[in-house]
């Protein structure tokens, strides 16, 4: 509890204004939930694996080899002799190969790190979707409850009027049907709300959820211009950066395969004893594999992989550019939709109020009153959907631009 309080307090002080939506959790709590997600921790483990692989490449797999034989020789007329032969050899990387291995290992670490950041980015988008699903379902349920409560009051009023013979039994039936329909809709939206909360809690169990979802915030454009956010989506894309580093790594691997067409030699020391020690010696030994078709094919394969990685980089860059453009377009389009739906909801609510007053004055039929109320409720639900869709779009472009919910290393090159 104390830790959660401190994180919340820190959020209120340090979180930038663009992340301070009233219906979002404090940013430090979201960051902690993202960092502890299994997908992110698994990606972090892959970074450690890449670091170990880089260390292996720095050191190389050239290790000492010990080889020895012990035997007895029988010479006719001379007797038996004990003999042994010992070799200690080690391969040595030719000049330039160690540098290529070291650079390939370093690039592999950068690839793994950027892939980890991209996994974290995708996890943030998944959290945003689950959170907004809960917000929307809860807002819809509140709207349905308000509608059912109003129809309950109307039902009581119609019954009183029917008792006074100021309303027909048909009016009572219509009011009862409208109330039952509203109650069924409220039950349906309650089920959707509960399902959304369960999915959110299961997906991010480390984040303590309130009993009730916050009220949907009024949309506000980010402090950073939308065009700048679109550019940041591309500039800060870890997916592009991972593809760039992977293309560079495979190019380095191809160069290494080319260098390896000349095999590394092995040198060592030989110690032997023959004829029971009558003959002893120490010498140097050396060997080198004679490269053939296998090494040539390995170089061709590595070169093809490097070419494919360059083409993959072009594909990823186009995909991220399309995502950035879509994020920008989506925010602008959804803002226009929401403003229209907000105006429609206000007009529908005003119409429902007027028709209710007209029914009370005996100027409008109950059927028209119920229709106006149903239209007002449906329009309000549509406004909630439009508002939430705009809020999702704004938060998405901020997440894609790495402006919110980022790790400390999120902006590093």
Sign of CA dihedral 185, 187, 190, 194: negative
Domain assignment present for 11: no
Domain assignment present for 28: no
Structure letter (DSSP) for residue 16? -
Count up the domains in the chain and report the number.
Answer: 1
- Look at residue 167 in the predicted model and tell me its pLDDT: 65
- Look at residue 409 in the predicted model and tell me its pLDDT: 56
Domain assignment present for 277: no
3-state class of 215 per DSSP? coil
Domain assignment present for 1: no
For the chain, give percent helix, strand, coil, nearest 5. Answer: 70, 10, 20
Domain assignment present for 273: no
Those residues whose C-beta lies under 8 Å from the C-beta of residue 345, and which sit 6 or more positions away, are: 376, 379, 380, 382, 383
Q: Is the pTM of this model over 0.75?
A: yes
- Look at residue 16 in the predicted model and tell me its pLDDT: 41
DSSP string, 341-356: HHHHHHHHHHHHHHHH
User: Assign residue 276 a region: left if phi > 0, alpha if psi is -120 to 50, beta otherwise?
Assistant: left
- Look at residue 166 in the predicted model and tell me its pLDDT: 67
Per the CB < 8 A criterion, the answer to whether 232 and 297 are in contact is no
- Look at residue 61 in the predicted model and tell me its pLDDT: 87
Domain assignment present for 176: yes
Those residues whose C-beta lies under 8 Å from the C-beta of residue 25, and which sit 6 or more positions away, are: 131, 207
Single out the residue of 18, 23, 34 nearest to residue 410, CA to CA: 34
Sign of CA dihedral 198, 203, 206, 210: negative
Structure letter (DSSP) for residue 279? E
3-state class of 93 per DSSP? coil
For residue 119, count CB atoms less than 10 angstroms from its CB and return exposed for 0-12, middle for 13-18, buried for 19 or more. buried
Which range of residues forms the domain containing residue 114?
34-64+99-265+299-401
Per the CB < 8 A criterion, the answer to whether 389 and 337 are in contact is yes
Low-confidence ranges of the chain (pLDDT < 50): 1-19, 410-413
Domain assignment present for 120: yes
CA 139 to centroid of chain Cα atoms: 26
- Look at residue 357 in the predicted model and tell me its pLDDT: 86
Per the CB < 8 A criterion, the answer to whether 81 and 280 are in contact is no
- Look at residue 125 in the predicted model and tell me its pLDDT: 97
Single out the residue of 195, 378, 248, 284 nearest to residue 240, CA to CA: 248
Domain assignment present for 393: yes
Domain containing 225 — which CATH number? 1.20.1600.10
């Amino acid at each position: 509890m104390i830790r959660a309080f401190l994180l919340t307090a820190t959020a209120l002080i340090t979180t930038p204004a663009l992340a301070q939506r009233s219906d979002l959790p404090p940013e430090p709590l979201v960051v902690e939930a993202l960092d502890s997600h299994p997908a992110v921790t698994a990606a972090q483990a892959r970074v450690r694996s890449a670091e170990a692989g880089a260390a292996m490449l720095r050191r190389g797999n050239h290790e000492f080899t010990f080889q020895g034989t012990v035997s007895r020789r029988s010479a006719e007329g001379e007797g038996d002799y004990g003999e042994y032969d010992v070799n200690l050899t080690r391969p040595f990387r030719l000049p330039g190969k160690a540098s290529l291995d070291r650079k390939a290992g370093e690039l592999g670490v950068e690839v793994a790190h950027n892939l980890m950041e991209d996994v974290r980015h995708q996890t943030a988008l998944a959290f945003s979707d689950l959170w907004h699903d809960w917000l929307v379902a809860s807002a819809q349920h509140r709207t349905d409850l308000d509608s059912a409560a109003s129809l309950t009051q109307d039902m009581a009023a119609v019954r009183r009027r029917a008792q006074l013979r100021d309303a027909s039994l048909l009016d009572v039936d219509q009011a009862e049907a409208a109330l039952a329909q509203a109650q069924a809709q409220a039950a349906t939206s309650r089920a959707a709300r509960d399902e959304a909360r369960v999915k959110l809690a299961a997906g991010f169990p480390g984040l303590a959820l309130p009993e009730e979802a916050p009220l949907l915030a009024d949309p506000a454009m980010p402090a950073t211009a939308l065009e700048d956010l679109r550019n940041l989506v591309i500039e800060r894309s870890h997916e592009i950066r991972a593809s760039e580093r992977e293309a560079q790594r495979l190019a380095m691997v191809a160069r290494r395969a080319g260098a390896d067409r000349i095999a590394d030699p092995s040198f060592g020391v030989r110690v032997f004893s023959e004829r029971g020690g009558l003959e002893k010696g120490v010498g140097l030994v050396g060997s080198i594999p004679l490269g053939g078709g296998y090494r040539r094919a390995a170089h061709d394969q590595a070169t093809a992989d490097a070419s494919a990685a360059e083409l993959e980089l072009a594909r990823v860059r186009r995909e991220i550019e399309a995502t950035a453009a879509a994020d920008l377009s989506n925010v602008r389009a959804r803002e226009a939709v929401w403003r229209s739906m907000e105006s429609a909801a206000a007009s529908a609510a005003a119409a429902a109020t007027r028709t209710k007053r007209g029914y009370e004055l005996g100027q409008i039929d109950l059927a028209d009153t119920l229709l106006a109320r149903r239209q007002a409720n449906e329009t309000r639900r549509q406004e909630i959907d439009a508002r939430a869709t705009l809020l999702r779009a704004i938060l998405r472009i901020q997440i894609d631009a790495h402006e919110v919910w980022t790790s400390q290393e999120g902006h590093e090159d």
